[in-house]
Amino acid sequence: MNSNRGLDHDEKLLFEVGDVNRTGVDLSEPENLSQMLGDSFSDSEIGLAGLSEPETVRHYVRLSRKNYSIDAGLYPLGSCTMKHNPRLNEKMARLEGFSEIHPLQPISTCQGALELIDLISSWLKELTGMAAVTMTPKAGAQGELCGMMAIKQALLNKNESHRKIVLVPDSAHGTNPATAAFLGFEVKTIKSNREGLIDFDDFKKNIDKNFAGVMITNPNTCGLFETDIVKISELTHKSGGYLYCDGANFNAVVGKLKPGDLGIDAMHINLHKTFSTPHGGGGPGSGPVVFSERLEKFCPTPLVENDKGEYDLIESLDGKGLSNSFGRLNVFHGQMGMFVRAMSYMLSHGADGLRQVSEDAVLNANYLRASLNDRLTPAFEGYCMHEILFSDDFLKDTGVETLDFAKAMIDEGYHPMTIYFPLVIHGALLVEPTETESKQSLDHFISTLRDLVDRLKEDSDSFKAAPVFTPIRRLDETQAARKPILRWKEEPLIAV
Ligand SMILES: *Cc1c(COP(=O)(O)O)cnc(C)c1O
């Protein structure tokens, strides 16, 4: 057990801590007060809780600690790349010239910011081997939308809007089929084979004259490299479709291979995964999309252009080779603070450092795999990429389920891994250690998981009861998601 036992402490609402009859300040009654508010004047109670400054500070500091974070401990969520965010990034993002600019200020006054956008654009193109990039999408999911809108636009441009079918593997992240469906495509699921990869024959079988394209995650959500990707891209193009790649797992291959070489037409990059920067606690994301030459002219505005040393934002669709663009995706130009953080991360790593990031991420995941495979059950044979997927076979006949196992980890001071995703594996447990965890930290995590597994048989009841050290124990998570209680009422909110 580490010092994060239970992960959290309870904190009441301000209204429950303070009360309306108290106040943190002590001002004397004003004399001869003439009020100047006319009919708007009111001297009735306003119902705010009175608190002293230390009480208020404590309340907010405690709330801030409720957000379990990568700075507090290992955060093994698979598919999320919860890596350490170097403080240098934060220092750079806080430079006044970046943090205080406004998207509506004159272009001549924010040349440095545009230069940074231009520079990071060129590096993303370099790292991916793609022809164009759009920086505006605000997260991976919006990047998917952006890429698929360009594909839709390209089909429209060829008078081929009858092509409505988008193929998506059954291991895909939910945002993939959601994006395609949102744009009016018809989603068809393709099967994974026993190795956890796309079943090429099933893919081929599903291609017909209405085929618009395929959305593939590579490495996929099983933590495996799609070895048929080139065959898939060739067949996709031969059949008149486009290949979208979900680049959320770019961390496993950055600096090692260029997605452009695989025949990918559009791919989003989660800056907030591959290039550090905080997320997972509701912080901003950023999901630039890179495009192949096939799609380049359909990508959205604005684009940054450098004309004789002056940077400009191209907004107009005419005269600049953008007449086929699908238009604007967002009101402004993207998440500036995230660009600065990602740029700072790239600069401080350099090309060799970025390559080492992916090598170490893969090494760490395989170290976990090798250290746990006699206790947990890896879902597939052989090496994995940057994350390791386990099935719930090791829980068989114990009466303990994946959810119980995850809850027990909280009592041991660990945030659980991603569970029940991807859907293709029964009771899936997906662990992504990232490259920023040390061997000591991995060893501690490994021994905790091994001990938990060894406790399964003799003590399955404790798994069912977990977590016991958290202020609130098992939540009705479905109810909490479907019927969130967002307003404070005077009666107690949660019956404990
Ligand atoms: C994180 C993730 C997404 C969505 O990205 P957001 O930035 O969270 O919108 C899509 N696909 C995969 C595989 C992911 O891991």
Report d(CA 134, CA 267) in Å as an integer.
10
Residue 495: predicted pLDDT: 44
Q: Do 371 and 334 sit in the same domain of this protein?
A: no
Helix (H, G, I), strand (E, B) or coil at 239: coil
Q: Do 325 and 447 sit in the same domain of this protein?
A: no
Q: Do 120 and 182 sit in the same domain of this protein?
A: yes
Domain span at 279: 88-345
Helix (H, G, I), strand (E, B) or coil at 310: strand
Last residue of a domain, one of 289, 321, 345: 345
6: left (phi over 0), alpha (psi -120 to 50) or beta: left
Query: Would you say residue 432 lies in a domain?
Result: yes
CATH number, domain containing residue 397: 3.90.1150.10
Q: Do 360 and 318 sit in the same domain of this protein?
A: no
Last residue of a domain, one of 281, 310, 345: 345
Separation of CA 280 and ligand 1 centre (Å): 11
> How many Cβ atoms sit within 10 Å of the Cβ of residue 445?
25
If you take atom 8 of ligand 1, which residue's CA is the nearest one? 140
For residue 219, cis peptide bond before it (omega within 30 degrees of 0): yes
**Nearest atom, ligand 1, residue 285 CA:** 7
Report d(CA 286, CA 223) in Å as an integer.
22
What averages of pLDDT result for each successive group of 10 residues across the chain (496 residues)? 62 79 80 81 79 88 83 92 94 95 94 96 98 95 98 97 97 97 98 96 97 98 97 98 98 97 98 87 85 94 89 75 83 92 96 97 98 98 97 97 97 96 97 97 98 95 94 87 83 46
If you take atom 2 of ligand 1, which residue's CA is the nearest one? 248
Query: Would you say residue 65 lies in a domain?
Result: no
Query: Would you say residue 57 lies in a domain?
Result: no
Residue 7: predicted pLDDT: 64
Query: Would you say residue 61 lies in a domain?
Result: no
Residue 387: predicted pLDDT: 98
Q: Do 109 and 227 sit in the same domain of this protein?
A: yes
If you take atom 3 of ligand 1, which residue's CA is the nearest one? 140
Query: Would you say residue 340 lies in a domain?
Result: yes
Q: Do 287 and 362 sit in the same domain of this protein?
A: no
Last residue of a domain, one of 284, 313, 345: 345
If you take atom 6 of ligand 1, which residue's CA is the nearest one? 140
Q: Do 323 and 191 sit in the same domain of this protein?
A: yes
- Most ligand 1 atoms within 8 A of CB, residue of 79, 274, 432, 434 to mutate: 79
If one counts the domains in the chain, the total is: 2
Separation of CA 175 and ligand 1 centre (Å): 7
Q: Do 432 and 286 sit in the same domain of this protein?
A: no
Q: Do 327 and 285 sit in the same domain of this protein?
A: yes
If you take atom 14 of ligand 1, which residue's CA is the nearest one? 248
Residues touching ligand 1 (Cβ under 6 Å) are 79, 139-141, 173, 175, 217, 221, 246, 248, 270, 285, 287
Residue 9: predicted pLDDT: 58
Q: Do 154 and 267 sit in the same domain of this protein?
A: yes
Query: Would you say residue 424 lies in a domain?
Result: yes
CATH number, domain containing residue 276: 3.40.640.10
Query: Would you say residue 222 lies in a domain?
Result: yes
Q: Do 329 and 389 sit in the same domain of this protein?
A: no
Separation of CA 53 and ligand 1 centre (Å): 40
